[in-house]
Structure 1
Amino acid sequence: MSLPTSWQSSWASHIPQLTAIQRTLGSFRPFPHHIPRIGQLDADLLDEELAQVLQEPLTKALQGLQSSWRGLFTLELGLLIRLILYKLSIWDNAASYGAQLQGLKLVDAHAISTSNAGPGEIRRQKLFLHALLTLGVPYLHARIRGYALSRAWPDRPRTDQRRLAWACLTSAENAHAVLGLAGFVTFLWDGRYRTITDRILGLRLVSSRRVDRVISYEYMNRQIVWHALTEFLLFLVPLVDVAALRRGIRQYLLSLRKSTYVPSLIKGLLERDPTTSSSNELKGPYTSLPPTECAICAERAALPNISYPLSNQLTASTIIGAFVPSYPVQTTYVGDCGHSYCYVCLTEKMVQAADEGKEGWRCLRCGKTVKSAARLKPVEEGEVIDGSEEDLGDPDATAAS
């Protein structure tokens, strides 16, 4: 469909006027875009908090090292974390993580005016210089200051070169503080450059999107979720009974013995009891110890196992008593294997075996598994015992008269 001839002629006559208006509008400077100062300051605070959050778990992980090593590598660890963050944020995207949360990015104000590196693009040389001034110089300052304090440079005589070097370092710190204060006041006035380094290099923060004052909470929500999960684990772990959990797992593994779905090889490994001996006659490490001695007390004292015939217990007791102290049974309790021990010793062994999920405790005299114990009844008047181990085998009955 073609337009009427009168419309086409009217459009052609007005083209010069429209072109002149377009040229006039193009000569006007764009309206300056205002970046909130609080957003630029919050970006620095968020970057510092992120570095601390990442450094804290690594510092806790290195608590097992020597204190001298921790103090030696703390600054290097912080520098490494900040270098990684700088590479993944400012070096790659021209914006730190805090600036991304605020919807800001770094641009080169000098590049905007001269158009050497494109509109707002930052050259790699300037980024390297920015990293050196913001990360390298503070690290060197902290390392030199720590070294000077550890060598007591401030206490040296006035004529000492180290005292003079300390005075120069202090003067440089004071000058930097004054310049930083002046730069911050200037930033509050014009809102362009946050720090002296940004002002020297001509780097400033501008909005990275059209909509201002809209903050992305993606990173913050992620941090809140991880923090809540960590707090929940710290609350839950102390409530877990590790011994009961271990017993439950062992009972579950023992219940697999009766399962028909377990392979024969695994079932054979589960049915093997390391506390039992392969021979028909079980024998403990303290078989030859006299019946009036507590084998658990002897084991704690590392009593040597001197083998003697059971028929000559009197001679064995005499020889052992001549070289090592005796350990008489206190508050006699007899296990279901028939041997007597101290109440405290036997109870401790039984509780320890229960905590480890075992079915019982292995007797130090006969090697049998002790699952229960009872107190030895006192001998009534008129009853006679011969002192043999067979008489101690029944906890509910005294020796035969």
Structure 2
Amino acid sequence: MLRLPSQPTPTEWGSNWKDIQPALRKVRRSMASLRTSSLKVMRVSQLDSDILDLELVDILKEQLWNALSLFKPTIKENYEPELIGLLNLVLFKLSVYDSSATYGSQLQNLKYRNEWKHGGAFESIAKDAPLTQTQKIVYGVLTVGGQYAWTRANRYITMKGWGELDESDIRYKVYNVLQKGEKYWKAFSLLNFLIFLWNGRYRTLVDRMLAMRLVYSKKSMNRQVSFEFLNRQMVWHAFTEFLLFLVPLINIEKLKMKLMRMLLPKSYLVSSKGYDKLPANQCAVCHDVTTEHSGPIGQVPNFTVHNPYETNCGHHYCYYCIQSKLSVFGDEWPCLRCGEKVYEIKKYIEKVQDDENDDKPSPAIEQ
């Protein structure tokens, strides 16, 4: 067959390409019928993004309250829902509305996509469909406007006391409907969270209603997490929790007293305070307590032993004084007069005998 000069020269690869087209169409149809793996997004990343968003709001609220502290305190009390709503509105405009992702999601390499545009065989490899403007607006109305309306309505209803009115009153019925609505919302939110833990698709109930799913913004980027820091934090947290449990079980005062007895000689413990030179009817513990709080020994004259009890070393103390020391230090408390360990006390009874009256005969009684 003759070829005109204007016609291109046929090549071998061109003819081969035309020959394999039927086979390629058959392969494409077979691939479309195959089921590919669904898109997997780490649940912990989605939950961490929510925590980061809450912490960011708390930081901004703290700064806002500090700024309002310079004005009248009634401004914060009266307009707190409006101020928080305005803050959430600004964050929504600068994050979800502009970039389809909250600040916490951006830190976790996540963004929202329109899940209504996805599905089928190429769900995990298809290009992410952006959110529509309707989705963004409805999301802002439900999250920002809904939170503000609920907080303001609860404040107003509580202030007016609608829950204490008669059951036939229309205001009580409105209050009852709102309370039941809150219970149902919490129940459905819990159910949605359990489903999220199972399949990892929609983190909140609003996300499920609007088909806004968090996916990776850059699929090739690895999750940047310092596991060394996490491990260190977990170890220190467990160590501090163990100490908080163990310290109340340890008698610190008793341990300190035992170390003092081991390191310091008995003569130093006694002579350093000079209680071994006190009279026998004086309570050394009363002197010690008064010295710690008032001044040197001898300022307060009345240190007489009341309700005396005798220790195993033979010295006398007030019952309250010696019992309080033993309850704190146990058997490690040393006697302030001799330095011996006090492990036993008993009530001291002083016997008084009148020898002169015993020798004299009893007087006669006149009749």
Q: Percent same amino acid among aligned pairs?
A: 32
How large is the Cα RMSD of the aligned pairs?
A: 2.9
Q: 1:210 aligns with which of 196, 215, 219?
A: 219
In 1, the alpha carbon distance for the partners of 2:139 and 2:175 equals: 27
Aligned to 2:232: none
User: Where does 1:145-184 land on structure 2 (aligned, <5 Å)?
Assistant: 145-184=154-193
Task: State how far apart, in whole Å, the 2-side matches of 1:212 and 1:190 are.
Answer: 22
| Deviation for aligned residue 1:170 | 0.8
1:292 match: none
1:12 shift after superposition:
6.9
Could you tell me which amino acid in structure 2 is paired with residue 188 of structure 1? Answer: L
How far apart are the structure 2 equivalents of 1:103 and 1:41? 13
Partners of 2:217 and 2:58 in 1: CA distance: 26
Post-superposition offset of 1:153: 2.1
1:21–1:56 CA distance, 2 compared to 1 (3 A): same
Is residue 51 of structure 1 aligned with residue 57 of structure 2? yes
Unmatched runs of 5 consecutive residues or more in structure 2:
1-10, 121-126, 227-367
Letter in 1 for 2:62: E
TM-score where L is the length of structure 1: 0.48
Q: Secondary structure at the match of 2:50?
A: helix
Secondary structure at the counterpart of residue 34 of structure 1: coil
Q: Which amino acid aligns with 1:207?
A: Y
Q: Deviations over 1:90-111 (max 9, x none)?
A: 1111111111111111011112
Counterpart residue identity of residue 204, structure 1 = R
- Determine if the alignment matches structure 1 residue 81 to structure 2 residue 87: yes
Deviation at 1:40, TM superposition (A): 0.9
Taking the aligned partners of 2:19 and 2:176, their CA distance within structure 1 comes to 78
Which residue does 1:201 correspond to in 2? 210
Distance in 2 (alpha carbons) for counterparts of 1:126 and 1:7? 49
Cα offset, 1:149, TM superposition: 1.1
- Equivalent residue letter for 1:110: W
**Corresponding residue number in structure 1 for 2:269:** none
- What is the aligned length? 212
Q: Which residue is equivalent to 1:260?
A: none
Amino acid of the structure 2 residue aligned with 1:101: L
Shift of 1:84: 1.2
Report if aligned partners of 1:101, 1:215 keep a CA contact under 8 Å in 2: no
SS of 1:64's equivalent?
coil
- The aligned amino acid for 1:178 is A
Matched, 1:144 2:153: yes
What SS class does the counterpart of residue 192 from structure 2 fall into? helix
Q: 1:138 to 1:41 in 2, by over 3 A?
A: same
1:27-76 deviation digits (Å, cap 9, x = unpaired) = 53443221111111111111111111112111111013222221122221
**Matches of 2:68 and 2:31 in 1, distance apart?**
63
| Structure-to-structure mapping, 1:1-400, within 5 angstroms | 17=23, 20-113=26-119, 119-211=128-220, 213-215=222-224
One-letter amino acid of the counterpart of residue 86, structure 1: F
Q: Equivalents in 2 of 1:31, 1:16: separation in Å?
A: 27
Distance 1:67 1:209, change over 3 A: same
Residue 22 of structure 1: CA displacement? 4.8
How far the C-alpha of 1:174 sits from its partner, in A, is 0.8
Is 155-164 or 15-24 further displaced after alignment?
15-24
User: How far, CA to CA, are the matches of 1:201 and 1:32 in structure 2?
Assistant: 20
Distance 1:83 1:10, change over 3 A: closer
* 1:173, distance to aligned residue in structure 2 (A): 0.8
Deviations 1:176-232 (Å, cap 9, x if unpaired)? Answer: 111111111111111111111111111111111123551489xxxxxxxxxxxxxxx
Which AA in structure 1 matches 2:117? A
Kindly tell me: are residues 142 and 21 of structure 1, through their superposed partners in 2, closer, same or farther at Cα, counting changes over 3 Å?
same
Q: Against the structure 1 CA distance between its residues 215 and 89, is the aligned structure 2 distance closer, same or farther, given a 3 Å change threshold?
A: farther
Q: 1:358 is matched with which residue?
A: none
